[in-house]
Amino acid sequence: MTTHSRRLAAHEITVSFDGTPVLTDVSLHIARGETVGLRGASGSGKSTLARVLALLHRPDRGHVSLDGQPIAGARHQVAPRIRTRVALLFQSPRAAADPRFRLIDVIAEPLRALGTDRDEARRRARELADLVGLTADLLDRRPHAVSDGQLQRACLARALAQQPDYLLCDEATAMLDASTQAQVAAVIMSYQRERDAGVLLISHDQALLDRWADRVVDIAAGRIMAPAER
């Protein structure tokens, strides 16, 4: 396998909503083990790009390829075991967690979806919760009874439960205080090393990009600007 094929790539992606172009001819790749920063103003299309890469939205033109394999379709059209290889972490944890689920079930959800039985899934969820710094007493609570920082940690644990090869963080730490951000980053970086996972870091925090990203790509009005090397 050449190095070229161990990557998550967007190939000339074009997306429009109701006739308004959101992404035009966007190509981007994230190699295993690297952290790519994506920087752009609101409305530049970065979140849509993340959703396309996470196989949650089918582009009008272009396609996504995973480790050299082109993927046709999105959402339920893609086999579950392929879908889970790219995990998406959202900016607002409140919107990203089912409010009726206890935290432990939020984390265990991907395991259950792929067939793990409940006890085993919960056991694994507890391990992951410990990894992200969630205390055990929080696991029986529902999202409305925990803080944003704790909930985002739970969402991170859920993403890791998928054992993704690529992790897309869509401003995932923007709402977190400095310490929680540092902790989330530490967990992701450690997972990255262990699994040789690729990370897409969408952020407008220059200090974070400088510290964490190997290279940064700029996006504006739905188009990629010339990539900047660090």
Partner 1 sequence: MTGTVTEATSPAAATATVSDDRHRVLRVDGLTVRFRLRDALVHAVTDLRLTLRRGELLAVVGESGCGKSVLAHTLLGLLPRNATVSGHAYLQVSPDADPVDLIHCGERRLAREVRGRQLGLIPQSPATALTPVRTGRRLLEETLRAHGHSREQAAAQAEQLAVDVGLNPHDLDRYPFELSGGMAQRLATALALASDPAVLIADEPTTGLDRSLVDHTLDLLRRRCDAGHAVLLITHDLSAARRVADTVAVMYASRIVERQPADQFFSAPAHPYSAALLDALPDRKFQPIPGHPPMLTALPAGCAYAPRCPLAIDRCGALPADRIVDAGTVACHRPRGASA
Partner 2 sequence: MTDLTLPRALSRRRLPWRPGQLGFAVAVAILVTAVAACLLAPVLWPLDQTAVHLDRTRLAPSWAHPAGTDDLGRDVLHRSVYGLRVSLLVGAIAALVATVIGGVVGTIAGTLGGVIDRILMRAVDTIAALPHLLLGIFIVAMLRPSLSAVILSIGLTHWLTTARIVRSELLSLRTRPFIDAAINGGASRWRVMTRHLLPHVLPRMALATTLMVPHAVWHETALSFLGLGLPPHLASLGNMMNDGQRSLLAGAWWASLVPGAVMIVVTLALAAVAARWREHLNPRLRSELEL
CA-nearest of 108, 101, 91, 113 to 176 is: 91
Q: Tell me if 153 contacts partner 2 by CB under 8 A.
A: no
> By CB under 8 A, which span of 62-70, 105-113, 124-132, 214-222 interacts with partner 2?
105-113
Q: Which is nearer to partner 2, 63 or 142 (CB)?
A: 142
Q: Which is nearer to partner 1, 196 or 210 (CB)?
A: 210
Cβ burial of 214 (10 Å; 0-12, 13-18, 19+) is middle
Applying CB under 8 A, which of residues 205, 214, 218, 223 lies at the interface with partner 1?
A: 205
With contact defined as beta carbons under 8 Å apart, do 57 and 48 qualify? Answer: yes
CA-nearest of 95, 99, 127, 96 to 111 is: 127
Q: Tell me if 212 contacts partner 1 by CB under 8 A.
A: yes
* Separation CA 143–CA 101 (nearest Å): 8
Total Cβ atoms within 10 A of residue 14? 16
HSE of 66 in the Cβ direction (CA atoms, 13 Å)? 22
Q: Which does 221 bind (CB under 5 to 8 A by kind): partner 1, partner 2, none?
A: none
The least CB distance from residue 205 to partner 1, in Å, is 7
Q: Which does 87 bind (CB under 5 to 8 A by kind): partner 2, partner 1, none?
A: partner 2
Q: Tell me if 207 contacts partner 1 by CB under 8 A.
A: yes
The least CB distance from residue 216 to partner 1, in Å, is 13
User: What SS3 class is residue 112?
Assistant: helix
Question: What is the binding site for partner 2 (CB under 8 A)?
Answer: 51, 54-56, 75-76, 80-81, 83-84, 86-88, 90, 92, 94-100, 109-110, 113-114, 142-147, 149-150, 155, 158, 161-162
